[in-house]
Structure 1
Amino acid sequence: MENKVLAIAAGNEITEKDLNAIISRYPQEQRGALQNEAKRNQLIEQLISFELMNKFGKEIELDKTQEYKEAMENISKEVITSMAINKVLGDVTVTDEEVKKYYEDNNESFGQPATVAARHILVETEEEANKAKEEILSGKISFGDASMKYSMCPSNQQGGSLGEFSKGMMVPEFEEAAFTAEIGVITEPVKTQFGYHLVLVDAKNEASVKSFDEVKDDVLNQLIKENQHKKYDQILKELEGKYGVERK
């Protein structure tokens, strides 16, 4: 593929390859926006400015200063260190058998707890709770409207909806009522530290375990990271013994 010359600045060619290299440094989601003509021209101007300032810097012999030499030493150290780390960790792999074994040995960690989706009405007294329940059961008002009318909880703006929750997320008395209630049946008033609740469960989900296929990629990435950490620590210990370290 032809490497088209886009400009010449200070005697140096600026090519399509140079431009694409700049674009590739941006996050993936931003690259598309850099492909229109106006944005590309802006980037080309940046490359032109870079070449001009580079030429000027050499003309005033900045590359012969001590500051330049020290900066290049630091850059060189960073590049070599990064390349060494990539070389050490680049060959770390995990087999399908290792991934499968980890899943089987840690099956419980991939579990999803039982949950319920419920709504509630929170009032100060048991009498208020019973009054609201009677109105709902008689058909005078819906549960959601009753929540907006009577409930002290901010969830009243969502018809009393608390969304989906698992055990341990609510106070014990409320949790017990929610997990034992029948779907679609309003509970008797439930007393908690906040007041009296009427609870209406909309759905229940039994506890389950994610399948191997659902978590395979996550397990693979986790094991690779773990093996890379082990390999890195191992290499550091070997290098410390080889080159020596004196901590003060």
Structure 2
Amino acid sequence: MKRSWNFGAGAIALAIVLAGCQGKPGQGGAASGGEVVAEVNRTKITLDEFNKEVEKVPPMIRPMFNTEKGRKDFLDDLILREVVLQEARKQGLEQDADYQRKVADFKRGALLEMVLRREVEEKTKVGDEDVKKHFEAHRAEFKTGEEVRASHILVKTEEEARKAQEKLTQGADFASMAKDVSLDPGSKGKGGDLGFFSRGQMVPEFEQVAFSLPAGKVSPPVKTQFGYHLIKVTKKKEGKPQEYEEVAAHLRQRLLREKQKAAFDSWVGGLKTAAKITVNEGALNKGIEKGPSEASEGAGPAGKGNPHKAAEGKKESTDKPAGK
């Protein structure tokens, strides 16, 4: 058992150290000051450098390298990395076009990360009072087991949505219209029925309307990233109210994301307004291959017009999976 554990720790350390090579192109080989713990062909590895590399290790496995053997194993892997880097330089790979492109990509990414941290993350905070105030003002939203069953009609433009709404007002059948005109291939065959879903499963704009509508009512046009929806709530399951302590952590993260998105949109909007931007649509559209996929135009990623969050392809792990 002990021998297996040592092998696992070494493998983890090696993977982390080699990942350090890939994550920061052009780095390595120059000592950063402090007592020297090793030297590889006159290139020094200092204690400061060693400790900084250990700090990059995930906290849960960092204790592995807080023993004499663990530190020696980790240093051996740093030496291995330096040997490989020196061989790469010896082969002239620093002048390779692919390497230079990767360095440029890394620099752009680092700059973007830094400016977003400065202009968005550091300027948006959510305090305890903000969380409590939102909870008290929206207590009805915080229920466990609350579900809604709804159908929808998805169209491309607001004008199309208004026309469909007018026909419904005049007595048209919702399910029949969904089968005829909805762009959501996943629900149109079922008359637009999405089944039951709980909070957190749909994109925010859709969810807000669906949970606020009385059963049997049809919403005005609702805009999401997929187009314009007419939403009809068919059934509701009341949930059990949650206490503040049950939702505070998740609510804080949600409010922070919303605040950061608003700050980002405002900041980037100002930059775009101030910038001189020209777009050559003729050149942009050259080479477009037209095919069967155009039949689902406007229906969202991969032809999906379903407003489930999973269709967005970029939601946090706290979100629930797509619906039933």
Q: Give the structure-2-normalised TM-score.
A: 0.42
Give, in whole Å, the separation in 1 of the partners of 2:81 and 2:87: 10
Give, in whole Å, the separation in 2 of the partners of 1:30 and 1:96: 32
- 3-state SS, counterpart of residue 27 of structure 1: coil
Higher relative helix content: 1
Give, in whole Å, the separation in 1 of the partners of 2:126 and 2:259: 8
Cα distance, 1:113 vs structure 2: 5.9
Q: Is the 8 A contact 1:99 1:219 kept in 2?
A: yes
Greater C-alpha radius of gyration? 1
1:24 and 2:36 matched = no
Q: Which residue of 2 aligns with 1:86?
A: 117
Give, in whole Å, the separation in 1 of the partners of 2:118 and 2:250: 24
Give RMSD over aligned pairs. 2.9
- 3-state SS, counterpart of residue 61 of structure 2: helix
1:215 and 2:232 matched = no
- Aligned pairs, how many? 156
Give, in whole Å, the separation in 1 of the partners of 2:248 and 2:278: 40
Cα distance, 1:229 vs structure 2: 1.3
Q: Which residue of 1 aligns with 2:256?
A: 224
Counterpart pick for 1:106 among 115, 138, 151: 138
Residue 37 of structure 1 aligns with an amino acid whose one-letter code is: E
Write the deviation string for residues 75-105 of structure 1: whole angstroms up to 9, x where unpaired: 1111111111111222101244322221012
Give, in whole Å, the separation in 1 of the partners of 2:274 and 2:80: 46
Q: Is the 8 A contact 1:5 1:15 kept in 2?
A: yes
Q: Which residue of 2 aligns with 1:12?
A: 43
Q: 1:87-236 counterparts in 2 under 5 A?
A: 87-89=118-120, 90-112=122-144, 209-236=241-268
Q: Which residue of 1 aligns with 2:88?
A: 57
Residue 138 of structure 2 aligns with an amino acid whose one-letter code is: N
- 3-state SS, counterpart of residue 28 of structure 1: coil
Q: Which residue of 1 aligns with 2:98?
A: 67
Residue 82 of structure 2 aligns with an amino acid whose one-letter code is: E
Give, in whole Å, the separation in 2 of the partners of 1:57 and 1:76: 20
237-246 or 80-89: which moved more?
237-246
Cα distance, 1:63 vs structure 2: 2.4
Cα distance, 1:107 vs structure 2: 0.8
Residue 91 of structure 1 aligns with an amino acid whose one-letter code is: K
Write the deviation string for residues 50-83 of structure 1: whole angstroms up to 9, x where unpaired: 2223233333333233333222211111111111
Q: Is the 8 A contact 1:10 1:51 kept in 2?
A: no
Give, in whole Å, the separation in 2 of the partners of 1:245 and 1:220: 40
**Structure 1 residues 67 and 113: CA distance shift in structure 2, 3 A:** closer
Residue 35 of structure 1 aligns with an amino acid whose one-letter code is: N
Cα distance, 1:4 vs structure 2: 3.9
Residue 92 of structure 1 aligns with an amino acid whose one-letter code is: T
Residue 101 of structure 1 aligns with an amino acid whose one-letter code is: K
Write the deviation string for residues 160-213 of structure 1: whole angstroms up to 9, x where unpaired: xxxxxxxx9xxxxxxxxxxxxxxxxxxxxxxxxxxxxxxxxxxxxxx8644334
Give, in whole Å, the separation in 2 of the partners of 1:8 and 1:245: 53
**Structure 1 residues 233 and 245: CA distance shift in structure 2, 3 A:** farther
Q: Give the structure-1-normalised TM-score.
A: 0.53
Runs (5+) with no aligned partner, structure 2: 1-32, 147-195, 197-238, 285-324
Residue 78 of structure 2 aligns with an amino acid whose one-letter code is: L
Percent of paired sites with the same residue: 19
